[in-house]
Structure 1
């Protein structure tokens, strides 16, 4: 089953691209419902890199949900669309119930020419007979994530606007 989000973010595409590759932003948009802890020797990197990233997930930081692998690829298409793709898998606990996981986040310039970002998010999830229950839980969580992403996007700008710098020294 699919969970889909599509909206315009109030930030430029470069800032959105940096943000969706940030483990700190990943943790922020998952909070407070999920707490994610890196199982890598040095903890989370500053920016995600391609490949596998083992994590441990808990509900609200209190209820252990299990261990999973986030398996990332980054795709930059000729048409300017940039995609983060996670084809990871659960290893233990409740997060191992889904047998199918394909999560993609796409960043592109807003087609209306506003300088903002068109954000698309697609999750395909399957869990055998439990798919409807897994889908409903992920759908609800994805709505929260989407609201948090829209809320945080305004603060993702990398460079301050020149008008806000004040007089030159």
Structure 2
């Protein structure tokens, strides 16, 4: 199964790339509907090779399960053709998300065509498993929520 969203955001690509690696931003993306609580050391910024276990709580109260976030980065091109992707190939450990497997979340950042002050954000999640079709609507709604949050928060992101 796959969820694939693409949208323009009001910040430069470098700022979006910094934000996608900032753990505080990762927590902010879910707003008040979901909170991430680290169960292992949570760095301030994700780096390739990082592996962090978090607990997810709906509305900050109801445990949803635990998940491992495993980060790798990929970069291609230069200048306006620069394509940067952060991969999360972690996996759900417990809770309803543990009903899926093959977790691969890609967050790809590129420059908006002809506009260095804006970025294109591609948010792709691929997953499988016998019950994946039952989980897909909930994950799609969550990713749509993330897209709204990203567009709302992006104007405040600045390059490091």
**Above 0.5 in TM-score?**
yes
Moved more, 132-141 or 71-80: 71-80
1:84 positional shift: 0.5
Q: Does the 8 Å CA contact 1:127/1:134 hold for their aligned counterparts?
A: no
Q: TM-score, normalised by structure 1?
A: 0.86
1:114 positional shift: 5.0
Q: Give the secondary structure class of the aligned counterpart of 2:96.
A: helix
After superposing on structure 2, the runs of 4+ consecutive aligned residues of structure 1 that deviate more than 6 Å are none
The corresponding residue for 1:103 is 105
Q: Deviations over 1:50-70 (max 9, x none)?
A: 231111111111111221110
The corresponding residue for 1:118 is 120
- Measure the CA separation in 1 of the matches of 2:44 and 2:116: 29
The corresponding residue for 1:164 is none
- Measure the CA separation in 1 of the matches of 2:18 and 2:71: 15
- Summarize the Cα distance change of 1:150–1:55 in structure 2 as closer, same or farther, 3 Å threshold: same
Q: 1:76 aligned to 2:84?
A: no
Moved more, 24-33 or 138-147: 24-33
CA RMSD of aligned residues (A): 1.5
In structure 1, the gaps of 5 or more residues are 160-169
Structure with larger Rg: 1
The corresponding residue for 1:144 is 145
- Summarize the Cα distance change of 1:59–1:127 in structure 2 as closer, same or farther, 3 Å threshold: farther
- Measure the CA separation in 2 of the matches of 1:84 and 1:112: 23
1:31 positional shift: 2.2
Q: Give the secondary structure class of the aligned counterpart of 1:116.
A: strand
Q: Does the 8 Å CA contact 2:31/2:149 hold for their aligned counterparts?
A: no
Q: 1:86 aligned to 2:85?
A: no
Q: 1:50 aligned to 2:48?
A: yes
The corresponding residue for 1:162 is none
| The structure with more strand, counted as a fraction of residues | 2
The corresponding residue for 2:39 is 39
1:158 positional shift: 3.7
- Measure the CA separation in 1 of the matches of 2:134 and 2:93: 19
